[in-house]
Structure 1
Amino acid sequence: MLTGKQRSYLKGLANTEKPITQIGKAGLTESFLEQLDLALEARELVKISILETALLDTKETANEAAGLLKADFVQAIGNRFVLFRRSKNNPKIQLPRPKN
């Protein structure tokens, strides 16, 4: 679970990123989720766009994908959303530490 400060930090990192993949009419297919799982392991932070023809709600789709992939939902703007999951083998992103 991300804190507000961590989420804000990740939003800043994602701001300059371009979407790495798109979700089409088929929605969250198994092959799409497999690709996204690999992308999260390699990059930790990914931005995804939803095609307008898909007629999917961005936040619902983002939360569903996050739940299925055990990732954290970072943000949704328009037809794009950002997910984060720390890499098991090669963590790259250092999140700000939560205050105790």
Structure 2
Amino acid sequence: MLTGKQKRFLRSKAHHLNPIFQVGKGGTNTNMYNQIKDTLEARELIKVSVLQNCEEDRDTVAELLSNRTGSELVQVIGNTIVLYKESENQKAIELP
């Protein structure tokens, strides 16, 4: 569980990132969860974009992604979700 100070720090780090994944009409699936897990291991902090034609609510998508990938939900702003998971092998972000 992240503290408010840690979330604020991660939001500032994520500001300059571009979304790597897009959730569209098909919603989320097992393949997407596996790819996001692998990307989180490599980068620790990612953005996911929820497209307008997505049938699920953005908050529902955020909860699903967070739960299924074992990551922390940092922020949902507009149609963008920010996820964080500490890397086991390639730790790059030092939380305050």
- Do both share a fold (TM > 0.5)? yes
Q: In 2, are the aligned partners of 1:20 and 1:48 still within 8 Å (CA)?
A: yes
- What is the root-mean-square deviation in Å for CA atoms of aligned residues? 0.8
TM-score if structure 2 supplies the norm length?
A: 0.95
Counterpart for residue 41 of structure 2? 41
Q: In 1, are the aligned partners of 2:44 and 2:87 still within 8 Å (CA)?
A: yes
* Code of the aligned partner of 2:63: N
Which runs of no fewer than 5 residues in structure 2 stay unpaired?
A: none
Q: Percent identity?
A: 40
Counterpart for residue 88 of structure 2? 88
Number of residues of Structure 1 aligned to a counterpart in Structure 2: 96
Counterpart for residue 6 of structure 1? 6
Partner SS for 2:53 = helix
Counterpart for residue 52 of structure 2? 52
Which runs of no fewer than 5 residues in structure 1 stay unpaired?
A: none
Counterpart for residue 19 of structure 2? 19
Deviations 1:13-70 (A, max 9, x none): 0111110110111111111111111110000000000110113211221111111111
